[in-house]
A and B are shown apart, each in its own frame.
Chain A
Amino acid sequence: MAASAHAEKQSFLRTYIFSTDHKTIAKQYMLTGLVMALIGGLLAYVMRMQLAAPHQPVPGYGPVYPGPYNAMTTMHGTIMIFWVAMPVLLGGFGNFLIPLMVGTRDMAFPRLNLLSYWTFFLSTVVLLSSFFVPGGSSPVGWTAYPPLSANPAYSGAGWGVTLWIVAVALEFVAFLMGGINFIVTGINLRAVGMKLMDLPLMIWMEVTASVIFLFSVGPLVAGAVMLLLDRVAGTGFYRPEAGGDPLLFQHLFWFFGHPEVYVILLPGLGIVAEILPVFSRKPIFGYKAIVYSTLGTGILSFVVWAHHQFVSGIDPRLAMPFSITTILISVPVAITVFAFIATLWRGSIEFATPMLFSLGMLAVFLIGGVTGIINGSAPADIYVHDTYFVVAHFHYALIPPVLFSLFAGIYFWYPKMFGRVLNEGLGKIHFWFTFVFVNVTFLPQFRLGLLGHQRRIADPTTLYSLGDVKDMHWISTVGAVGLLIGQLPFIVNFFMSLVVGKRAERNPWRANTLEWSVDSPPPHGNFDPLPVVYRGAYEYSRPERGEDWWAQDAAPERVTAR
C-alpha cells in the first residue's frame, strides 16, 4: 500500500499526475469539477441570454438555434450534476477529508482511487468531445428519455447522444470505484478509539451518499446499456414499434435519479454540519438524531422515484403511494435542518466566509425544500410538472449543496489543502453576490412555471400569451449574469491566495476534527504517528474547560497529568 511508502521521494508524474495520494486525487477531482462548473455556467449564460432577448445574437456566442439550445440544456444539466456536484462534493471533499477525518494515512485502496480519477477524466474527455462531433452534443435532455434518445431520426443527433451515454456510464464506473473506497475507509480505517458515533457528520454523509449511489446506480447502468444497444445495434428495449417500452427507461432512470439527489445533498449538508459548530463554538445539536435521519433519508430515497412520473402514463393508482413516501422525506430532512438551526441557539457566531456560505446554504435550501412539497403532491404536480416551477425548485434544492456548500467547504478547508488562507474581504463580496443573484435568477422562475411556461423552451416568444413571461425572463437573466460575474472575486481569490495568501497554521479555525491536528497542507501519509481519538467531533465550549474547543485526539488531562 502507498501508505507505507510515504517517506519516499516520488517522481513528478507520480506526485502530481498519477498520484495515489488521496489529497492529490481530491485536488484533481476538485479542479476538474470547477473547470466543468465554468463550462456549465457559460452554457447557462447563453441560454439565459436567448430567453431574455430571443433571436438576438448572444455576445460571445452568436445566434442561438433550437437544436443547439436543446443541446445546451442537456449539457448544462449533465455537467452540473455529474461533472460538478459529484466530482467536487464526493471526489474532492470526500477524498480529501475521509482519510484525514478518520485519522488514517490514505484511502483503503489507493490504486483504485487513482483509477477512479483517471476513469473520471476519460469520461470528461468523452463528454466534452461530444461538443465537436457532427450534429453536436446530445439534445435529448439530461434525462435522455426514449424514444427521442433511442432513435436518431427523432432527435437528429447521432454521435452526440451515443457519446453522452458512454461518458455517463464511464462516470458511474469512476464513482463506483470511489464509493467503495469511501465506505471501506470511512467505516473500517477509523483511528484507534474512534467509535462510529465519534465520526464527524461529514463522514456519515459521504458514506451514506456512497452507499445510496452504489445501490441505485446498477439499474441505470443496465438501462444505459440497453439505450446504447437500441441506438447502435437496433435492439428494441425502448422502441414501441419493436415491442419495447419507453416507460421502462423512466423507471430505471429515476430509480437512480432520485437517490442521486441525496448523493449530492448529503455531502452538502455534511459540509455545513462541520462548519456550523466551529463558527458557533457549539456542539452540533442532536448528533445522533442527524445520523439516524441521514440513514432514514437514504432508505426513503429508494422508494420515491415515481414522483417524477405522476403524469408520465404510469398506472394512476401508483401515484398516491409515491406521493406519500415523497412527502414523508420531509421528516428526516426537517430533523436535520431544524437541528442545524438549533445549533445556532446561544452560540457565539462569527460571520466568517465559510459560515456565511453555510447559513446561506440553509436559507436557500429551505425554499427548495418546501417547494418540493408542491411537486410531491400528485394533483398539484399535474399543474407544475415539467414547468419552470420545477426548474426553480430543483435549482433551489441543488444550488445550496452544489454552490453554497461547495464554497463554504473551499473557504473552510482551503488552508488545509493549500497551506494558505483565502482572503476574507473577497470571500464576503463573493458570498453576497452569490446569495443575492441566486435569488434574482430563480425566484422569477417560480412565477414563470405558475403561468404555465414549460421547461426546455428554446424560443419563449411562443409563450408571451401566458402573461409577463418576457419580464420574468429578463429579471432571471440579469440574475444569472450577476451570478456569473459574482464568481470573479472567487476565481481571483483562489489563484491569488495560492501565492500571496496568509500562511495557514495547523488549525486556523480552532476546530476539533483530526484534519486540523496535522500540518497545512498535510504531508504524504498524513499522520506520524497515527492519532488516538478520545471523544466526538463537536466538543465545543464545555463549561469545565478553559478553552472553547477540545480536539478529538487531545489526550484527557488526567492522563497527561500523571
Chain B
Amino acid sequence: MLKWLPVAASSYARDVDGIMILISVIVGIWLVIAEACLIYFAFRFRRRAGERAAYLPGNTGRTMAWVLVPVTLVLACDFVIEGASGPVWDKIKIHLPKSDSSVRIVGRQWAWEFDYPGPDGTIGTADDVVSVNELHVPANAVIEFELRSTDTLHSFWVPALRLKQDAVPGRKFKGWFQATRIGTYDILCAQLCGVAHTTMKGTLHVDSPEEYQRWLRSAKQG
C-alpha cells in the first residue's frame, strides 16, 4: 500500500489532510465522469459508413441544460470545498492560540537559525539559546514562532507538520504549531533562495518534555 502523505505530526495536520482528501474525492469523481464521457462518446460515435451526425447546436435553454445542470453541480461542489476550507485556514493561519513557548526562526542563505528565549523569557537577549538547523520542541506544547529572513525569500516548510510559511526580509510573521508526535522530521526550504537552496535543510526534533529539558540544558552549556 502506497503511503501518499508523510506522518501527520501536528494538531492541525489532520485538518489539512481532511481538506485534501475531501477535494480529491470530489474532483476525482468529476474527473472519472468527464473522462468516461469523453472516451465513451468518442468511441460510441466514431464514424460509421452511412450514418450521419445529428444537428445539435445547443442553442436553446432546454438543450443547454445538458451542460448547465452539471455546471450548477460543479458550483455546489465549489461551495462545499470553500465551506470546508475556510475554518481550516482560519484555525491554522488567522487565530493564534495561547502558546506554551516561543521560538524565533530566521532563514538565511543557507540555513535555518532557531532562537529560544533564555530564563528571562524574551527572545533577543544575551541569555538566549541559539541553534542552527536543529529545532527542538516539546511534544504537545503550543509553539508560537516568529519567522524572519535576513537576505532573500525562504519558506519554512515542515511536511510532517503541514506547515509552510514564506520568510520575507524586512517583515516578521507570527505563526504557531503544536507537534503531537515524538520523532524527528525534515525541515526544508520551499522558496528558491540561491545556489545552495537544495542544501537548506534542518531537522525538527519533537521531544518528550524531559528530553527537551535535557537538550535545553546541554545547548545552554554549549
A binding-site residues for B, Cβ under 8 Å: 66-67, 70, 139-141, 145, 147-148, 151, 154-156, 240-241, 244-247, 280-289, 311-313, 316-317, 319-320, 323-324, 327-328, 330-331, 334-335, 337-339, 341-342, 344-351, 359, 362-363, 366-367, 370-371, 373-374, 377-380, 382-387, 447, 450-452, 454-459, 462-463, 465-467, 538, 540-543, 548
Contacts and interface: CB of A to CB of B under 8 A. Distances in A.
B84 to A, nearest CB: 8
Contacts of A288: 59
A269 to B, nearest CB: 15
B208 interface: no
A437 B92 CA distance: 39
A476 B211 CA distance: 42
A452 B186 contact: yes
Interface string B45-69: 1111001111111110001101110
Contact of A285 (B2, B16, B67): B67
Contacts of B31: 366-367, 370
Given A287-B59, A386-B190, A452 B173 contact: no
A382 B92 contact: yes
B109 A154 contact: yes
B214 interface: no
B81 A335 contact: no
B155 interface: yes
Given A341-B37, A344-B38, A363-B38, A313 B27 contact: no
B122 interface: no
Given A341-B41, A383-B164, A466-B6, A348 B51 contact: yes
A548 B50 CA distance: 12
A289 B60 CA distance: 10
12 contacts: A66-B196, A241-B170, A283-B55, A284-B58, A285-B67, A349-B47, A373-B27, A377-B82, A382-B93, A383-B20, A467-B6, A541-B52
Given A311-B165, A366-B35, A385-B164, 14 more contacts: A147-B169, A280-B53, A316-B89, A323-B85, A334-B71, A335-B71, A363-B39, A366-B31, A370-B30, A373-B27, A384-B20, A451-B159, A454-B157, A462-B201
B86 interface: yes
Contact of A454 (B166, B169, B188): B188
Nearest to B199: A462
Contact of B45 (A285, A349, A379, A462): A349
B35 A538 contact: no
B62 to A, nearest CB: 12
A468 to B, nearest CB: 8
Contacts of A141: 192
Interface residues of B, number: 87
Given A345-B45, A346-B56, A377 B198 contact: no
B107 to A, nearest CB: 12
Given A66-B195, A347-B53, A387 B71 contact: no
Given A139-B195, A334-B70, A454-B189, A312 B38 contact: no
B141 interface: no
B162 A374 contact: no
Interface string B20-34: 100110111011001
A152 to B, nearest CB: 11
B7 to A, nearest CB: 11
B178 to A, nearest CB: 15
B131 interface: no
B41 A344 contact: yes
Contacts of B195: 66-67, 70, 139, 155-156
Contact of B164 (A145, A316, A382, A458): A382
The residue among A320, A377, A458 with the most chain B CB atoms within 10 A of its own CB is A377
A181 B206 CA distance: 61
A285 B30 CA distance: 20
B23 A323 contact: no
Given A344-B45, A346-B54, A467-B3, A156 B85 contact: no
Given A66-B195, A316-B94, A154 B151 contact: yes
Contact of A313 (B34, B38, B165, B188): B165
Contact of A346 (B2, B19, B45, B173): B45
B171 interface: yes
Nearest to B151: A154
A140 B195 CA distance: 9
B64 A454 contact: no
Given A154-B194, A283-B57, A542-B55, A311 B20 contact: no
B38 A362 contact: yes
A340 to B, nearest CB: 9
A338 B70 contact: yes
B89 A378 contact: yes
B170 A245 contact: yes
Interface in B100-139: 109
Nearest to B189: A454
A363 B35 contact: yes
B152 A313 contact: no
Contact of B82 (A247, A327, A338): A327
B168 interface: yes
Contact of A459 (B75, B85, B88, B199): B199
B198 A457 contact: yes
B164 A147 contact: no
A379 B14 CA distance: 11
Contact of A311 (B28, B47, B155): B155
Contacts of A139: 195
B191 interface: yes
Contact of B67 (A148, A289, A458, A462): A289
